[in-house]
Amino acid sequence: MSDTASKPNLIRAGEHSSHDAGRWSFSHPLNPASQVDGLALSRLVGLERVAVNLIRVPAGKESFAYHAHAAEEEWIYVISGRGIAEIDDEEHEVGPGDFMGFPAPSVAHHMRNPFPEDLVYLSGGEVLAVEVADFPRHGKRQVRIGEKIAMHDLATAEGFGPLEKP
């Protein structure tokens, strides 16, 4: 059982800095330019089936790696700064108030920040028990089951033929 009963339902803007438990930093292993600092807002209030994160991508850095989701829907809302959204091999400059949505199965997408100011956005989506994400520029597939994540090289993966019916 979760500890949602012990979580507050309201986190005020001035309280964000006091919630170190919800803070995280990440650099994606497939992208050396990746640097993301985040605050897991949804976790601070006990949400488990949806994720909402406050994301900061420093100037000159990138979010994760160009990827597509098989099952989980995702969205991004830009709060401040500017960035380049790569969506299905097209580049779009984005800024405050711009919203992106990626219904599942999604097209590949990624955020870059080539500008001198930090890019800050809200990002969220579903949290399913199982998710598969493809990284088409790297020929990789990630499979997440619960908290366990495995990365597979698609070039060396063995196919699984059609199932025979009894």
Report the top-level CATH class of 20-128: mainly beta
Instruction: Locate the domains of the chain by residue range.
Output: 20-128
With a pLDDT cut of 90, the percent of the chain lying above it is 78
Place of tokens 């209030």: 45
What's the pLDDT at 139? 97
pLDDT digits (tens, 9 = 90+) for 49-103: 999 999 999 999 999 999 999 999 999 999 999 999 999 999 999 999 999 999 9
pLDDT digits (tens, 9 = 90+) for 5-43: 678 898 888 776 655 667 889 999 999 999 999 999 999
pTM above 0.75, yes or no: yes
